[in-house]
Structure 1
Amino acid sequence: FSNLTLAGFRDFYEGEHDLVRDVGEDSHGTMMTGLLAADGKFRGAAPEVDLSVALALGPSGTSGQEDRVAQAIRWCRITQKADIVSLSLGSEPGDGMGIQSETTLAVQEALDAGIFVVAAAGNTGDDPDISDVSVPANLPGVIAVGSSTRSGGVWSNSAGGSLTNPYGDGNRSYPDQKPEVTAPGVLLFSTTTTLIEPPYAYSTGTSDSTVLVTGALALILELHGAALAGDDGVIDSDEMGIVKRALASSCDKTGIDGSPHDARGGYGILDAVQWASDIAFELNLA
């Protein structure tokens, strides 16, 4: 991170706002930051991104108080004026973050403000008692991200999505079926605590995949953000729909055997170049 200057840091866990750190036992935040913004020998998905970091989870990966995550999301929206909120976290449906929780309300506020939200689908694919992706990835406007393996298949623990929409009547429909996309998420090499030498380690999970989709979207907004916002300079629900439709149409469907949508594989594996191209086509820029 030699050239990384944070756009902002806020500690919603202990209130130590001047001490940038990772309190996680497994250095989860540092690993996700590396996958996004590392700028050394190993480079992240978007190494020149303007990055704000909100510390909202404790050492074990839980916040203790669910509204801390909501506060972090609102800080990203109101104070940092973020373009994307990346959430490498989630709660099992029906546990912790409910559909009317402060976190889901904060996510919906971000979406309504034209901020893209990318969230982990969850690592519960092997649990028959869990029938949907994590909260808040299960919100209609959120891009829910599952994990693909190195061989291009769907990771066995990547959570599956339900046909039904828990926030309304009826079934989910294109392009909001869950999850929307998978991205590499098995044994990714990233930065970790400096207590290890060299400070690198492998990481696996939908959290990792989420960061790669976030990085791709950040680069796409750098390329097409002004055109998406239009004359009024605001990305509204119509423009967000363009981005989601382009994501669905651009995914590589090899890993889901050409299916239009798979309950665990989504619309397919992330193809960032094709995603950008499909957005340009929808905006008549191609």
Structure 2
Amino acid sequence: VGEDSHGTMMAGLLVANGKFYGAAPGVDLSVALALGPSGTSGQEDRVAQAIRWCRITQKADIVSLSLGSEPGDGMGIQSETVLAVQEALDAGIFVVAAAGNTGYDTSISDVSVPANLRGVIAVGASTYGGSVWSNSANGSLLDPYSQENRSYPNQKPEVSAPGVLLFSTTSTQIEPPYAYSTGTSDSTVLVSGALALILELHGTALAGDDGVIDSEEMEIVKRSLASSCSKTAISGSPHDEKGGYGILDAAQWASDIAFELNIAD
């Protein structure tokens, strides 16, 4: 998917089911080509259309966005992409988005758009050794939409996950068709995969008697994510501007959600 196989690599990290396995190989995956042919840039209205397609046509449970724009560059606060993401959140769809790879740039003060929206799970990257990747974007204390300080469990980013030199599928023009990839795009897929498996386990209980996932249930998921993260990479602090609430622990995340819902895990 795309000339540089960015989408192909992200899809492989999620659903590969051959010699190598993705994070959640049994999930139903719909792919929207939201970026341009290079896979590194795209038109904002196309991204918004892709998100709305996931919501309206595909009835997605999760929208995984391995993309983003620097704050103030392209996707503005009232941009179509931001509006489309908020529509998805309002419809009970979880949105997981890349925090960005701008940690080296001190002039950029927040995670990418739309990862900076309150309801979105913004994902940073960690290394094979279990530390936070140095180029993972820094989050800001200030929410640019409300102009208020962010608070638990919605500080940015929310979580880090492995995202450095991940091995995945690539163009079939390469033999063998595998390559390494690095970035918060990759770590985003792993968090989306973990969430998909959790919804398979606990989705019915999470939706409750009315069968609807709304802001209250989304808060349970985010609160459980924050409480379940491994704090080792962030030196035990409650939250880190680059590492979030810590590194993803998918099994503990599932257990914490089960505890919140008062069900056996």
Is 1:50 aligned to residue 28 of structure 2? yes
Letter in 2 for 1:250: S
Q: TM-score, normalised by structure 2?
A: 0.98
Is 1:117 aligned to residue 95 of structure 2? yes
Q: Deviations over 1:57-91 (max 9, x none)?
A: 11233554311000000000011000000000000
Which residues of 2 match residues 229-244 of structure 1 at below 5 A?
A: 229-244=207-222
* Distance in 2 of aligned mates of 1:216 and 1:64: 27
Aligned-partner SS, 1:189: strand
Residue aligning to 1:150: 128
Residue aligning to 1:13: none
User: Over aligned residue pairs, what C-alpha RMSD do you find?
Assistant: 0.8
* Distance in 1 of aligned mates of 2:202 and 2:186: 25
Is 1:84 aligned to residue 73 of structure 2? no
Residue aligning to 2:114: 136
Alpha-carbon deviation of 1:158? 0.2
Residue aligning to 1:17: none
Please point out which of 196, 200, 213 is paired with 2:174: 196
Alpha-carbon deviation of 1:155? 0.3
* Distance in 2 of aligned mates of 1:170 and 1:230: 31
Q: Deviations over 1:176-220 (max 9, x none)?
A: 000000000000000000111000000000000000000000000
* Distance in 2 of aligned mates of 1:65 and 1:35: 25
Q: TM-score, normalised by structure 1?
A: 0.91
Q: Percent identity?
A: 85
- Native 8 Å contact 2:2 2:8 kept in 1: no
Q: Deviations over 1:28-64 (max 9, x none)?
A: 0000000000000100000010000101111233554
Is 1:227 aligned to residue 205 of structure 2? yes
Residue aligning to 2:160: 182
- Runs of 4+ deviating beyond 4 Å: none
* Distance in 2 of aligned mates of 1:127 and 1:83: 34
Residue aligning to 1:39: 17
* Distance in 2 of aligned mates of 1:281 and 1:128: 40
Please point out which of 155, 159, 167 is paired with 2:137: 159
Residue aligning to 2:2: 23
- Native 8 Å contact 2:122 2:156 kept in 1: yes
Residue aligning to 2:259: 281
* Distance in 2 of aligned mates of 1:86 and 1:155: 20
Give the gaps of 5 or more residues in structure 1: 1-21
* Distance in 2 of aligned mates of 1:161 and 1:192: 31
Q: 1:270 to 1:71 in 2, by over 3 A?
A: same
Q: 1:67 to 1:167 in 2, by over 3 A?
A: same
* Distance in 2 of aligned mates of 1:188 and 1:217: 19
Letter in 1 for 2:115: A
- Native 8 Å contact 2:34 2:42 kept in 1: no
- Native 8 Å contact 1:56 1:63 kept in 2: no
Please point out which of 235, 238, 253 is paired with 1:257: 235
* Distance in 1 of aligned mates of 2:11 and 2:236: 33
Aligned residue pairs: how many?
264
* Distance in 2 of aligned mates of 1:210 and 1:151: 18
* Distance in 1 of aligned mates of 2:41 and 2:31: 15
* Distance in 2 of aligned mates of 1:173 and 1:250: 17
- Native 8 Å contact 1:155 1:186 kept in 2: yes
Residue aligning to 2:45: 67
Q: Deviations over 1:142-178 (max 9, x none)?
A: 0000000111111010001000000103200000000
Letter in 2 for 1:163: L
Aligned-partner SS, 2:31: strand
